[in-house]
Amino acid sequence: MRIDVITIFPEYLAPLHVSLVGKAVARGVLDVHVHDLRRWTHDRHATVDDTPYGGGPGMVMKTGPWGEALDEVIADGYETGARLPRLVVPTPSGRPFTQEHAAELSAQPWLIFIPARYEGIDRRVVDEYATRLPVHEISIGDYVLAGGEAPVLVIVEAVARLLPGVLGNAESHRDDSFAPGPMASLLEGPVYTKPPEWRGRTVPDVLLSGHHGKIARWRRDEALRRTAAHRPDLIERCDPAAFDRKDRELLAALGWRPGPGGHYVKNEKGEDGAA
């Protein structure tokens, strides 16, 4: 996979060369290019922004540098044999980023990221390249950052770890929170390692039992408990047919019941079902 990032802060993207992503780059699984947007400016101040039409606070990133940068980066990619890229635009107004979205992007041969600063990029840039390329406008959460570089790091790591050869254990991502499947909405439960006791806190006995069936059941129960506690909306989205008898018993104990459409809903009377 080829990844290009165009930014006014290339140094912000240094983490792309460390940890798992960095190892993937070193092994040639990822081909990462970080470009300084100011290289495509033509004044002595390397200006990339201007005041917004219609007034208002802040500055808006100009069309000129972005257009020249994207044209050159795309042409360079085509010259090296890359196929059609997808343009990824980190923005608070974009589609919420999910594991499903990460999997979708991981199947692509080439991603170009354009992280904005200030009040954002002149809309005409995205509209122009949307006529040539698939565009993904992505939000990593309901909050606003100083710029789009941090979301780039988040998205690239989520995508890269799904590529063959990136994780040491190819099975590692299959049990991730939000992994694809009918139970895709469940969060992972807690994990433990040696020593078996630390500061008076012990590892759950079942994990030391060697009984794989009981361990699997415990992990599933803990995933249900954690999801119900922290992300109840995800329980509501699970396919009810994926819940087995033990799941249904635990959900009932936690105050959940099948709703009119079959999906589980929180019992308004309380966790124990009492009024």
Catalytic residue among 92, 109, 232, 240: 92
Asked about 161 being catalytic, the answer comes back as yes
One of 2, 117, 161, 220 is an active-site residue; which one? Answer: 161
- Distance separating alpha carbons of residues 22 and 14, to the nearest angstrom: 9
> If we measure between CA atoms, which residue out of 246, 204, 250, 259 comes closest to residue 225?
250
Backbone phi, psi, residue 154, to 5°: -65, -50
- Within 43-122, residue ranges assigned H as helices are 63-79, 99-106
Calculate the CA 174 to chain-centre distance: 15
Cα 52 to Cα 226: distance, rounded to the nearest angstrom: 45
Backbone angles phi, psi at 221, to 5 degrees: -60, -45
Our answer to whether residue 176 is catalytic in this structure is yes
Q: Which of 36, 119, 137, 157 is catalytic?
A: 119
Closest C-alpha among 186, 174, 175 to residue 242 = 186
Query: Which of these is catalytic: 176, 188, 221, 236?
Result: 176
92 is catalytic: yes
What is the set of active-site residues?
92, 119, 161, 176
